[in-house]
Structure 1
Amino acid sequence: MPRNYRMKQSKASYTAKEELLSSKFEKVEPLAFYRDIFPSGTLQNKGVLTEGVGNAIFRYEPDRSDYEALRDKIIDSYGEAIKSDGFGYLLPVDSKTFKELKKLDKMWHAEKSTGSKPIRKTVTVSRHNKVVTIIVKYDRLLHDDLAELKTTEGKAFAIMPPISYFGKKANAKNASCIHALVIDLDGVSVDNLRYIINHTVRKSVLFCSPTYIVNSGHGLHLYYLLDKPIACYNYVRKPITVLKNAMAKLLWNKYTSEFEDRDFQQWGQAYRVVGSLSKLGAGYPVTAYKTGGRVSLEEINKYLHPSDRISLPLESYRPGGVTGKTLDECKELYPDWYERKVLGNIPISDKKIFPWLYEKAKDDTKFYAKVGSRYHSLCILFAIASKCRIPFDEVYEEAEGRIEFYNRFVDEDDEVNKFTIDDVVCASKFYDPAFPKWITLDYYEKILGIKVKRNKRNGRTREQHLKSYIPFLRKSGEIKDTRFGVEGGNKRGTRLGAKDKTVRSRTADSAEQVVRDYLSANPSARTSEIIRDTKLCKTTVCKWLKKIKGIDT
């Protein structure tokens, strides 16, 4: 299907959704929308430092208006402009100013942009000795008066999470409070929207009513404003992510979206700012409609399956076990811990470890990544490469070579979904020893949409289990298979972890022989007596009784 036809369909769907929403709900202006998310006093006043109060942070890509504002600022700083540059701008005669303006034009690539074509500011950055040119995006603080929201009006790219932060960077370390939970539904048609309204807003059958429904272009953002903001402690982030994923699993189905593949997101995900442009371009802004009131975590929990619910209050996730020792005492007692956790001196070796893990991740993140998960797939690849001590240059070269592969299903003129070098540079930040800890198997499966077969230890310790996954070491004799305690592993010659410590030969039927011998001596013995006297586990005894006597226990 030609892209122009798809875009035309998307624009028609957007217009139909706007008509349906405006006929049933009140349209909310961006200022009122964000005032409801961040009530007065929630954010800091500009120029006033208030303890315990954070700021919202939005990110946007600067355009021609930002370029012209900087240009006028340079000209104003050097007095009256008396010279024309031939493009409609007045320039002062001063050579220093002329150089500054040329530098500005070069940085913003203004000489390549004419008319309404976007001006993009680029900058050269260095990542692990790799010099790359990327498009600049600005992070800006949103204060209590919300005056900075005017900057996002009409911007082609502007995103903000419903979270307040301490400091100037929107990262997990600086997160202060979560003010709303947002579910992003892609591929929502007008029929899907009508189903959502009937089964959430009117009857609350599928789920409780969202506070706002935001028309984001191709899809919808369902905003659930919380009655009480959630303090972003470390132990809170994982259960909130689990809660959001459970909500998405319930709200995203064949009746609410035309897409089958669900997109699960983290607790700190940012969304397009209301008032900025959607992916459909000029004339199709992101709009918000008031559909309900604030909700509580208890109310959200009621609609979820018991296995998906989180424990409340959230303080129940607070880790226990404070040592009661001072930092100086811990420094003496736990020097390794002090070096890693306090000083951050993580030992790094040039020797590769678990190369098979990196090779598997390299294939999975390449062939299972799809539009919407390509960036996160590369983040996983860089994090695992860091864990496996793969050289950065090798991983970066692999990631850079995937740009064309990742764009194989994207039209050449589709600038929105095109995978670029900027995405590779941003993902390369995850090449750090601190990141692999969050690459759990569940997260790996969720991002790539695959199922990974779990491994069994078979009585081995963790160290022995991991070693057994390096075949060439086993063949060379550097490590030995100690599942049954032979070949120099366990001196007693028993399977590690077994209750029965009797030395036996390494045969598959050794447990069967023990059961047979016991039954020969005690023909009328019950199953519980065999388990007690032989010290074999219940499943093993039942297995061999079924085979020997045909007893189904």
Structure 2
Amino acid sequence: MTENYRGCYEYLSAQFEQVGGYDFYRELFPDNELYGVKYDDFSHPSAVYLYQGEDERLHRRKMYHDTWEQDYTEFVEQNPLTLCSGLVYRRNKNRLEHAQRMNALIFDLDGVGIGELRNLFLRFDGDPKRVRRLPMPTFLVLSGNGLHLYYVFKGPIDLYPNIKVQLKSLKYDLTFRIWEYKGTSQLKAIQYQSINQGFRMVGSINAKYGTELVAFRTGERVTLDYLNAYAIKPENRVDINKPFHPSRMTRAQAKEAYPEWYQRVVIEGNKRKKKWDIAGKVHGDDPYALYHWWLRQIGSIEGGHRYFYLMCLAIYAYKCDVPKQQLRQDMRTAFEDLQMVKHENALTEEDIRSALEAYDKEYYNFTIADIEKLTNVRIERSKRNGRTQEQHMEVMRAIQKVTNPNWRRGNGRPSAQQRVYDWRQQNPDGRPKECIAGTGLSKNTVYKWWDNPPTVRYEDSGLTVKIRPSQALSDLIQEDLRKGP
């Protein structure tokens, strides 16, 4: 038992009602379907949880209303690893695409001791317009070395596709507000999580610390308006009155304007988002270039983001059509490296199995912004002013040649960025570890500059560049110079 757990338990148990696991989930999910009854109209979406079986693997199980008492005793109570989100699903798997309603919005806050807990209660339920005020959670759950904050809604939130996106933005916003280093957490790195994130279940055991997860009722059920008021940015609030944005375009107009979409969606009935053609846009001979680039970002991963790095590795693998067998091998190698990153929570084999689930069409349009939030890795955007990558590279090389023809001949020792770039130019098939040995630079430095070559800046908007062989390229350069850097 950790000192954090002991101090927080004493503080909470002296002031609030403790709620057992069976009652906790009965209250959280009152409308689960009955065992053996089939609801064709999806009127009873149910919670889905994961539990560790005797084979030490995680198994999925639907939470049935009439068998919950027996199931809780058999599968959850005192189990060393069980996970459940605050969503209910219309099928047997806890995939976000099958999520129908949100019963509770849940936050994970690691590194909470008695001092941080007292700070939280000083901030809970204050005026949202004031600095550091936080919404009062319905339940606080002791997780081992931190807290889970449960905001249980008075009425479930229907998860239309656009609402899922809005709730994700709201959760990211509130996570930033809740998690404050040395104020509400002893850990510096904020951990952002999806709305579909599973959390250790009340009544189960956190095997690492040997502590039982216990819940305390600290507040009332909440409304979206209540949580929206605490969002730092107004654009991150959820508007349930606008679940859809229907197009005003007629079907005939859509057929003419978007023939490919019309064929795929209307004629073929495929309503999924189109998968981005990553391999077709790669500059070079490596169709897995984007995936390999993400593999090299491992040197930038901090303790609280290791699992999400593996998850995003699976996402990039699916985006780039990397075979799953290769992904497993690469993930195993990455897992060994990530275990060396210091953090209070150990990375486990189950994290690999869980991360592999992101190798799925559900995630192939995962955005750069989401990946940045989850992994805390800054991803630079390419700004090509509407040009193709080939045009852009030709323009930049031409400008570089004219504005600074001796750019590689700088006085004094070249920068680390330049040394990495020069080494890659001389060793096009080289790997980072070979660059580390060849340049004498540190691992972190090489990874930092591996995909960030030196750039040339130009500021004279009146510059005229004369090049050959095409006038079209000259026109592109002139346009770029008019726009400025």
Rounded Cα–Cα distance in structure 2 between residues aligned with 1:238 and 1:183: 17
Determine if contact 1:201/1:291 at 8 Å carries over to the other structure: no
Determine if contact 1:246/1:308 at 8 Å carries over to the other structure: no
Q: Which residue of 1 aligns with 2:429?
A: none
2:157 to 225, 230, 233: 230
Rounded Cα–Cα distance in structure 2 between residues aligned with 1:347 and 1:191: 48
Determine if contact 2:144/2:209 at 8 Å carries over to the other structure: no
CA deviation after TM superposition for structure 1 residue 215, in Å: 0.9
Rounded Cα–Cα distance in structure 1 between residues aligned with 2:4 and 2:474: 71
Rounded Cα–Cα distance in structure 2 between residues aligned with 1:223 and 1:455: 39
Q: Which residue of 1 aligns with 2:290?
A: 357
Indicate the SS of the match to 1:417. coil
2:221 to 294, 317, 322: 294
TM-score, normalization by structure 1: 0.64
2:17 to 22, 26, 48: 26
Rounded Cα–Cα distance in structure 2 between residues aligned with 1:242 and 1:348: 26
Return the letter of the residue paired with 2:96: A
CA deviation after TM superposition for structure 1 residue 273, in Å: 0.9
Rounded Cα–Cα distance in structure 2 between residues aligned with 1:277 and 1:466: 55
Provide structure 1 residue ranges, at least 5 long, that are not aligned to the other structure: 1-9, 64-120, 122-134, 475-482, 499-505, 512-536, 544-553
Return the letter of the residue paired with 1:15: R
Return the letter of the residue paired with 2:348: F
1:417 to 324, 342, 346: 346
Q: Which residue of 2 aligns with 1:172?
A: 96
Indicate the SS of the match to 2:205. coil
CA deviation after TM superposition for structure 1 residue 308, in Å: 5.3
Rounded Cα–Cα distance in structure 2 between residues aligned with 1:239 and 1:44: 27
Return the letter of the residue paired with 1:44: E
TM-score, normalization by structure 2: 0.72
| TM-aligned CA distance change 1:27 to 1:396, over 3 Å | closer
Rounded Cα–Cα distance in structure 1 between residues aligned with 2:272 and 2:291: 28
Report matched runs for 1:368-383 at 5 Å: 368-383=300-315
1:192 aligns with 2:116: yes
Task: Encode CA deviations 1:237-295: one digit per residue, 9 max, x unaligned.
Answer: 1111111111111111021100010110001111111111124454x211111111111
CA deviation after TM superposition for structure 1 residue 352, in Å: 8.9
Q: Which residue of 2 aligns with 1:399?
A: 331
Determine if contact 2:140/2:215 at 8 Å carries over to the other structure: yes
Q: Which residue of 2 aligns with 1:529?
A: none
% identical aligned pairs? 23
Q: Which residue of 2 aligns with 1:494?
A: 475
CA deviation after TM superposition for structure 1 residue 410, in Å: 6.3
CA deviation after TM superposition for structure 1 residue 456, in Å: 1.7
Rounded Cα–Cα distance in structure 2 between residues aligned with 1:316 and 1:466: 41
Determine if contact 2:2/2:209 at 8 Å carries over to the other structure: no
Q: Which residue of 1 aligns with 2:194?
A: 266
Rounded Cα–Cα distance in structure 2 between residues aligned with 1:208 and 1:26: 19
Indicate the SS of the match to 1:266. coil
Aligned residues: 403
Determine if contact 2:48/2:60 at 8 Å carries over to the other structure: yes
Determine if contact 1:201/1:292 at 8 Å carries over to the other structure: no
Determine if contact 1:188/1:218 at 8 Å carries over to the other structure: yes
1:321 to 231, 247, 271: 247
| TM-aligned CA distance change 1:321 to 1:184, over 3 Å | same
| TM-aligned CA distance change 1:432 to 1:26, over 3 Å | closer
Q: Which residue of 2 aligns with 1:245?
A: 172
Task: Encode CA deviations 1:148-174: one digit per residue, 9 max, x unaligned.
Answer: 222311111111111111121111122
Rounded Cα–Cα distance in structure 1 between residues aligned with 2:272 and 2:476: 41
Larger radius of gyration: 1
Task: Encode CA deviations 1:28-76: one digit per residue, 9 max, x unaligned.
Answer: 122332232223xx2212233343111111111024xxxxxxxxxxxxx
Provide structure 2 residue ranges, at least 5 long, that are not aligned to the other structure: 399-463
Q: Which residue of 2 aligns with 1:388?
A: 320
Q: Which residue of 2 aligns with 1:136?
A: 57
Rounded Cα–Cα distance in structure 1 between residues aligned with 2:214 and 2:250: 52
CA deviation after TM superposition for structure 1 residue 430, in Å: 3.7
Rounded Cα–Cα distance in structure 1 between residues aligned with 2:229 and 2:276: 47
CA deviation after TM superposition for structure 1 residue 191, in Å: 0.9
Rounded Cα–Cα distance in structure 2 between residues aligned with 1:159 and 1:417: 17
Q: Which residue of 2 aligns with 1:480?
A: none
Rounded Cα–Cα distance in structure 2 between residues aligned with 1:446 and 1:347: 21
1:334 to 242, 262, 280: 262
1:46 to 7, 29, 35: 35
Q: Which residue of 2 aligns with 1:75?
A: none
Return the letter of the residue paired with 2:98: N
CA deviation after TM superposition for structure 1 residue 14, in Å: 1.1
1:57 aligns with 2:38: no
More moved, 347-356 vs 157-166: 347-356
